[in-house]
Amino acid sequence: MRESTIMKIHYGTALAAVALVAVHILMRLTQGFADSLEYESVLANYKLIPYAIMLELILILLSVHGFNGLRVILLELRQGRTYEKAVSYGCLAAMIGLIAYGSNTIIRTNMGIV
Amino acid sequence: MAQVSSIADEKTSTHVSPSKSVLLRISRYNPEHDDSSKFMEFNVPYEKWTTVLEAILEVKKHYDHSVAVRYSCRQATCGSCGMKINGKPKLACFTKISELDSDVVTVEPMNNFPVIRDLAVKFERLFDTHQKVKPYLIRDDTELESDEKEFPQSPAELEQYIQFANCIKCGLCNSACPTMATDSSFVGPQALAQAYRYVADSRDKGKDSRLKIIDESHGIWRCHFAGSCSQVCPKGVDPAMGIQFLRGYLLGFRS
């Protein structure tokens, strides 16, 4: 993938994440911040399908943006063909791993398994 | 640290006012013999018009001829005498001592360039990256074969790139760039500004191939837009602006 395509994704995910995280924070504030973090309230949020979809989107957007940012920082710290390949594939694997782990939590909670 | 204050018997080339002298601290380093750089200090007389390069040449002439410095035109045209003067990358021939407003002038080799000796640095990386972005007009026909004999260009089209054509390849922008300090593969502001110079030229047809060259993991996207490249350019080139324009092409905002 060309670097410009990756950076378009990087900027796009940042903008989308800001918008969705703003909605997420507003939801916390409208419910009363402390109350919204109660165990039952959190579970209720996960069980509401539109909200669960939004949490899943935030997870994907932040993971893609964050791990690409980490890749960029690591590429600037050191150079070398092997190192750069390890960083790129390592960040991709970590990103997939985090999304899989987070998705597992969201889906299981939504289905009432947790 | 050595201090040399006695002047040789030979007369200086210019009229010297005894009331004005500056402490010139020159970084001395020979990678073949020295573990680290050290400063040698010289009291150098100066006039209002004396440049840092002239002061260094005065030291070479009267105190220590072994000081290594690269220079040629003495008029900010050849781009040979770039160095750090009181911590900032500048051309020694274009910097007057009187304008530095300091009794001490410290000269060091430019950052982000390997030192050959003392103030002279290697330019291989700069020339390699400059060459990499194809700094010439790319098109199938030539002026010699064309019926029109020359490729016409309007003043407005010239205005798009003319400031970037003032680059003298002195390397000050690369020396000031923070990304150049950490990323040894970064193409650098000088080459990126030259890429824009030709991409923006209405006579050029090589935009796509040039954009492809800079659109890689150590290319244009590693610029953090610190803007220090534009601050230090002695010819008024604004590489940071050129880099933003190039990003506009790659993001689809410009065509």
For residues A102 and B150, the model is more confident at A102
What pLDDT is stored for residue A34 in this prediction?
A: 82
Which chain B residue is nearest to residue A71, measuring alpha carbons? B217
Q: What is the pLDDT of residues B111-135, one digit of tens each?
A: 999 999 999 999 999 999 999 999 9
Q: What is the pLDDT of residues B13-55, one digit of tens each?
A: 555 555 689 999 999 999 999 999 999 999 999 999 999 999 9
Domains and CATH numbers, chain A: 3-110 (1.20.1300.10)
For residues B18 and A16, the model is more confident at A16
d(C-alpha B25, C-alpha B100), whole Å: 14
Find chain B residues with C-beta within 8 A of A77's C-beta: 182
Chain B interface residues (partner A, CB cutoff 8 A): 179, 182-186, 215-219, 221-222, 250-251
Q: Do B182 and A84 touch (CB under 8 A)?
A: no
Q: Do A75 and B217 touch (CB under 8 A)?
A: yes
What pLDDT is stored for residue A113 in this prediction?
A: 86
Q: Where are the alpha helices (DSSP H) in A37-80?
A: 39-47, 49-77
Q: Do A79 and B183 touch (CB under 8 A)?
A: yes
DSSP SS3 for B87: coil
Q: What is the pLDDT of residues B226-235, one digit of tens each?
A: 999 999 999 9
Domains and CATH numbers, chain B: 2-121 (3.10.20.30), 124-251 (1.10.1060.10)
Q: Reply yes or no on whether the pLDDT at B6 is more than 70.
A: no
Task: Give the distance from residue B159's alpha carbon to the nearest chain A alpha carbon, in angstroms.
Answer: 27
Q: Do A79 and B217 touch (CB under 8 A)?
A: no
For residues B238 and B2, the model is more confident at B238
Quote the ipTM score: 0.83
Mean pLDDT of chain A: 94
Instruction: Choose the weakest-confidence range: B133-142, B199-208, B235-244.
Output: B133-142
Task: Give the distance from residue A63's alpha carbon to the nearest chain B alpha carbon, in angstroms.
Answer: 20
3-class SS string, B11-56: CCCCCCCCCCEEEEEEEECCCCCCCCCEEEEEEEECCCCCEHHHHH
* pLDDT (mean) for A89-114: 95
Q: What is the pLDDT of residues B68-113, one digit of tens each?
A: 999 999 999 999 999 999 999 999 999 999 999 999 999 999 999 9
Measure CB to CB from residue A8 to each of B179, B186, B251 and give the nearest one: B251
Please provide residue B82's backbone torsions phi and psi, each rounded to the nearest 5 degrees. Answer: -65, 135
d(C-alpha B237, C-alpha B168), whole Å: 10
The angle subtended at Cα B13 by Cα B12 and Cα B17, nearest 5°, is 60
Q: What is the pLDDT of residues B168-183, one digit of tens each?
A: 999 999 999 999 999 9
Contact indicator for B173, B231 with CB cutoff of 8 Å: no
- Pick from B38, B152, B60, B52: which is nearest to B99 by CA? B52
DSSP SS3 for A43: helix
Handedness of CA A99, A100, A101, A103 (dihedral sign): positive
pLDDT band at B150 (very low <50, low <70, confident <90, very high): confident
